[in-house]
Amino acid sequence: MNAPGLPPQLLHRIDDLSLGNSFAELPPAFYTRLMPTPLPAPYLVCAGASAAALIDLDPAEFATDDFVETFSGNRTLPDSIPLAAVYSGHQFGVWAGQLGDGRAILLGEAPAPGTGHPGVLELQLKGAGLTPYSRMGDGRAVLRSSIREFLCSEAMAALGIPTSRALCVTGSDQLVMRETPETAAVATRMAPTFVRFGSFEHWFYNDKKAELKILADYVIDRCYPELRDTANPYQALLAEVTRRTAHLMAQWQAIGFMHGVMNTDNMSILGLTLDYGPFGFMEAFDANHICNHTDRQGRYAYSMQPQIGHWNCYALGQAMLPLIGEVDDTQAALQNYQSEYAARLDDLLHAKLGLQSKLPEDGKLFDAMFAAMQGSHADFTLFFRRLGDLQADRPETDAPLRDLFIDRAAFDAWAVQYRTRLKQENSLDSRRSIAMHAVNPKYVLRNYLAQTAIEKAQRKDFSEIGKLLGILEKPFDEQPENAQYAALPPDWASHLEVSCSS
């Protein structure tokens, strides 16, 4: 965005987005060039000014036909070379072979000057029609899942968690079949690259070492140029992706985010949260919660995410072994996962509890906290938010926090430990409260909030999406006028099920 004091930047009109196409310069085996399938009579469902600002796009464009037609796939931007990329992957722990962009079409990359390296964002239409990689699918996305992806991408960004972004969703009355007939939609996503762990696995399992090297060089040169001059850039790449993935898992755990489908084809080579499907935010705390109704075994349950992140890095390491050379060097690149994860989570938990110092016994305090939360299924977001209001010398004011626990005695016992710990560092309530509220959000995308916005949108009232976006873009602010959006889920929400179907 235009920073105060600097000369105003010119915001682009839609046709002034000059797209680059670095991915299209890779050999043809990496993708199929094709046009999106037009979406009949499209209309704008939602668009985000913060996402548009990343590519200096004027939000006034949202209201134009050109915007809606472009991001429905009905109109091509100048310089665009649309394509669908090929990749493979492990799904639910099993090698699934070739997958690829079955319904996503890359338009090209727009300059994104304020976003750090490589200073571009790829624009991708999700739900833009059949591709050679569609397999049994219809190439479409439904309105419901597109709204969820849009809201969650932007909510995660505002929470400071690495993620692909979402520019907009367009809709159509065209029906597509899922469990029931639903209407089609196209979500426009943005990321510096959509290359996945599965992109590397694709070439490894097809025994194509030359292509594997081309892909690794492309990723290093574009996204990790600082690794180019290391002794073994491929080993350095694996080590850095492993580190980022470990940190991402720590951030997910600390905010209570559950991805739902952590297959290797959904793992970003940049360590971004990618491919929002049956995700969820933890509400009533249960470490074994499975947010994806289709995941019967609980492979991707909340408590499993950190180790699955590690497993996925091993799958990437296996695929990169021919480039790295030695098994030992590959192992070495992977071995920091545990310590990186543990250290980052430890930092995040100290911040969540408002602790400035670190003491050897803190791990026990955290374990006892999660045990008490588990025992009472305390609401994850409200617990940490209200903990920021705890007054160290006045247990008699604990009611709002204490009321989140069915087992009050368990909470009381833990609160004694916590208060003792606060005293040990002479914690000052007022300062601690500000610090805690800056890391423990008041507002997250609870399923019932998304569902309310979706049901209105299905009746062509899109107002709730914009309202929610505005709230979720400031998740740490009190926003007293929106306090009802921080409330526990209503009874009807306990029946909500989120599946892979999207």
Side chain identity, residue 17: L
Q: Which of 56, 61, 101, 295 binds ligand AMP (CB under 6 A)?
A: 101
Cα–Cα dist 127/74, whole Å: 12
Structure tokens at 24: 């299209």
Comparison of 232 and 294: residue with beta carbon closer to Mg ion:
294
Q: Decide if 389 is catalytic.
A: no
138 binds ligand AMP (CB under 6 A): yes
- ∠ CA 339-341-342, rounded to 5°: 65
Considering the complex, what minimum distance in angstroms separates the CB of residue 158 from Mg ion?
Answer: 23
Chain positions 454 to 493 lying near ligand AMP, rule: CB under 6 A, are none
Stretch in the footprint of ligand AMP (CB under 6 A) among 69-77, 99-107, 464-472, 475-483: 99-107
DSSP H helices in 206-304: 209-223, 233-255
Chain positions 176 to 235 lying near ligand AMP, rule: CB under 6 A, are none
475 binds, among Mg ion, ligand AMP, none (CB under 5 to 8 A by kind): none
Query: Rg of the chain over CA atoms, in angstroms?
Result: 23
Comparison of 92 and 366: residue with beta carbon closer to ligand AMP:
92
Cα–Cα dist 147/354, whole Å: 34
Considering the complex, what minimum distance in angstroms separates the CB of residue 164 from ligand AMP?
Answer: 12
266 binds Mg ion (CB under 5 A): yes
Among candidates 45, 41, 36, which has minimal Cα distance to 172? 41
Q: Which residues of 44-55 are buried (b: 16+ CB within 10 A; e: fewer)?
A: bbbbbeebbbbb
100 binds ligand AMP (CB under 6 A): yes
Comparison of 140 and 244: residue with beta carbon closer to ligand AMP:
140
275 binds Mg ion (CB under 5 A): yes
149 binds Mg ion (CB under 5 A): no
HSE-CB at 96 with a 13 A cutoff on CA atoms is: 18
211 binds Mg ion (CB under 5 A): no
Q: Which of 42, 73, 277, 441 binds ligand AMP (CB under 6 A)?
A: 277
Considering the complex, what minimum distance in angstroms separates the CB of residue 150 from ligand AMP?
Answer: 15
Structure tokens at 463: 């107002």
Nearest residue to ligand AMP, scored by beta-carbon proximity: 137
SS3 for 123? strand
164 binds Mg ion (CB under 5 A): no
Catalytic one among 56, 265, 295, 398? 265
Comparison of 126 and 344: residue with beta carbon closer to ligand AMP:
126
Residue in this structure with the two tokens 């046009």, named with its chain if needed: 35
Q: CB under 8 Å to 353, separation ≥6 — which residues? A: 365, 366, 369, 387, 418, 436
260 binds ligand AMP (CB under 6 A): no
Distances (CA, A) of 58 to 7, 235, 373: 16, 41, 45
Stretch in the footprint of Mg ion (CB under 5 A) among 102-110, 262-270, 339-347, 476-484: 262-270
Comparison of 259 and 432: residue with beta carbon closer to Mg ion:
259
Question: DSSP readout, 400-456?
Answer: HHHTT-S-HHHHHHHHHHHHHHHHHTT--HHHHHHHHHTTS-S----HHHHHHHHHH
141, 101 Cβ separation under 8 angstroms: no
Binding site for ligand AMP (CB under 6 A): 99-103, 133-134, 137-140, 261, 266, 275, 277
**Residues acting as catalytic residues:** 265
